Amino acid sequence: MNARDPHMPVQADEAEALGRFAGRVWDDEIVPALTNYIAVPAKSPMFDPDWAQHGFIDHVVRDAAAWVEKQNVAGLKLEVIRLEGRTPVIFFDVPASRPGGNDAGAATICLYGHLDKQPEFNGWKSGFGPWTPRYEDGRLYGRGGADDGYAIYAAITAIQALDRQGIARPRCVGIVETCEESGSPDLPFYIDALKARLGKVGLVVCLDSGAGNYDQLWLTTSLRGVVSGTLKVEILSEGVHSGDASGLVPSSFRILRQVLDRIEDSKTGRLLPESLHCAIPAERIEQAKATAKILGDEVWKRFPWACGADGGPTLPTTTDPVEALINRTWRPTLSVTGAEGMPALRDAGNVLRPYTAFKLSLRTPPLVDGNVAATMLKALLEDNAPYNAKVTFNADGRVGAAGATGWNAPALAPWLQSALDAASNAHFGAPCGYVGQGGTIPLMSMLQKSFPKAQMMVCGVLGPKSNAHGPNEFLHVPYGKKLTAAVAQVMAACV
């Protein structure tokens, strides 16, 4: 190890060795560990308010921490931190193997992941399920393996791969949280508590994102923000006979539709308030054009479309790959993700319901402040209700954090751009691709503010058909192996 020049780029034989090591650990240890992880319904606090009593989050935290400590990484220190009343965080610290890498002025790599999960959802194939791990054709099915249980295992494996090959790297720290799927409401408190221990972060490696295909390394260049909450329209104190009351008592559903029309054009899906839009940087448009050339119509064909009225597939909002990429990454959109106040079809009688409630998920562009958007949304929905109905919108975020702000990546440093292409070519045989993501990782905007000079490597295993949050979610294991090796190679280049 000492004979190797610590600043020498990773050579072809070394890259091959990194890939072999990562593949072996995935087969022997990571897949079995994730199989156990998937079986635990460690739902995020938003979906399991009694998470502390149920103990599932503590279960997966204990398992992950025990696995890390079992790896015997030289000098590694791990701590499960529990702030009062908040979900736990795993924090680990591994000293540099590069000479001078622990100096006060040296850069630190911060690796990120999370262990909490989305709820079950329906529609799983027969024999598959959210808490029923199943490994088939290189795909590990079940909730949370790809989003984002694998992250801590891949991060430690990347560090191990470098150390076993004698390839020098900077100091590495890791933050693995357990409320990301709830919007990371606890994370700012942990970032504040850990700031002195994090050190001078030069590179953030976030393993919670997606991939445009499984044929190359993909760097996430932007993330949308999100405002989620419950919109409720109440018109009666109890349900009444629909024949007796309809025509006189206004429908709570109709009122809710009218209120939603204030923010969305129902014909096009365009959000009406201009404050929810932002100017799209020219660089991101050019990157979308380049990515569209790589992915083509797969940008929109990859979704599980139902049959349309004529028996053909339902059509997307656009079949232009460039517009499709921009729509899902830089334009605001509204989704209704749940409903309350409506009985199941088999239980629906002739009753005019007293209220209708929708769970709203508003995705905001990367440059729109999430809290400002949440405040505006509440005022617009609640003001001057039709028929003087009781209309309320309650955002899911805690006080002071009603929305999660998106993120736009800083300009790539030449060393990182070179390292990304080298790693992608070495492990995938193709250069790195660049794509924005429509989802939200609240940590990124937090860390960008805390470490404005840090470079950001946001990547992940959520490629085509992986269906995060939905039925039949899977982790593409061959891609996970290559991604782990590629991340290790990039880490070795961090300056």
Both 154 and 191 in one domain: the answer is: yes
Question: Please, are residues 77 and 172 in contact by the beta-carbon 8 Å criterion?
Answer: no
Residue 243's CB: how many other CB atoms inside 10 A? Answer: 10
Both 129 and 259 in one domain: the answer is: no
Give the pLDDT score at 88: 98
How many independent structural domains does the chain possess? Answer: 2
Count of all residues that appear for the chain in the document? 495
Both 49 and 159 in one domain: the answer is: yes
Cα-to-chain-centroid distance, residue 258? 32
Both 150 and 25 in one domain: the answer is: yes
CATH number at residue 436: 3.40.630.10
Residues ≥6 apart with Cβ < 8 Å to 211 = 217, 218, 433, 459, 460, 461, 462, 463, 479, 483
Closest CA to 492 of 9, 137, 124, 4: 9
Of the three residues 395, 419, 434, the one that is the final residue of a domain is 395
Kind and range of the H or E element at 202? strand 201-206
pLDDT tens digits, residue range 21-31? Answer: 999 999 999 99
Closest CA to 175 of 131, 110, 230: 110
Give the pLDDT score at 447: 81
Give the C-alpha distances (Å, rounded to integers) separating 156 from 68, 106, 118. 7, 21, 24
For residue 352, being part of any structural domain is answered with: yes
For residue 402, being part of any structural domain is answered with: no
Give the pLDDT score at 101: 66
Both 417 and 440 in one domain: the answer is: yes
Which two structure tokens, joined as six digits, stand for 356?
């209708």
Give the C-alpha distances (Å, rounded to integers) separating 157 from 23, 50, 144, 275, 416. 10, 33, 19, 43, 21
Provide the sign of the torsion angle of the four alpha carbons 363, 110, 159, 90, taken in this order. Answer: negative
Of the three residues 395, 429, 448, the one that is the final residue of a domain is 395
Catalogue the E-assigned strands of 43-86. 77-81
Q: Do strands 407-408 and 171-177 pair parallel, antiparallel, or not at all (unpaired)? A: unpaired
For residue 130, being part of any structural domain is answered with: yes
Give the pLDDT score at 311: 84
CA quadruple 38, 42, 48, 50: dihedral, nearest 10: 140
Of the three residues 364, 395, 426, the one that is the final residue of a domain is 395
For residue 59, being part of any structural domain is answered with: yes
**Residues spanned by the domain of 420:** 12-223+408-493
CATH number at residue 239: 3.30.70.360
3-state secondary structure of 271: strand
State the maximum Cα–Cα separation within the chain, in Å, rounded to a whole number.
Answer: 89
Question: Please, are residues 114 and 181 in contact by the beta-carbon 8 Å criterion?
Answer: yes
Both 28 and 118 in one domain: the answer is: yes
Kind and range of the H or E element at 136? strand 134-136
Both 210 and 238 in one domain: the answer is: no
b/e burial code for range 320-355 (CB count within 10 A of at least 16 → b): ebbbbbbbbbbbbbbeeeeeebeeeeeeeeeebbbb
For residue 366, being part of any structural domain is answered with: yes
For residue 3, being part of any structural domain is answered with: no
Both 77 and 159 in one domain: the answer is: yes
Phi, psi angle pair for 361, to nearest 5° = -125, 105
Both 249 and 146 in one domain: the answer is: no
Give the pLDDT score at 105: 59
Both 19 and 163 in one domain: the answer is: yes
For residue 7, being part of any structural domain is answered with: no
Question: Please, are residues 494 and 28 in contact by the beta-carbon 8 Å criterion?
Answer: no
Both 48 and 168 in one domain: the answer is: yes
Closest CA to 208 of 478, 491, 475, 490: 475
Q: Give every residue of the chain whose pLDDT is below 70, as ranges.
A: 1-7, 100-106, 397-401
Give the pLDDT score at 1: 41
For residue 114, being part of any structural domain is answered with: yes
Both 64 and 187 in one domain: the answer is: yes
Whether the ω angle into residue 5 lies within 30 degrees of 0, i.e. cis, is no
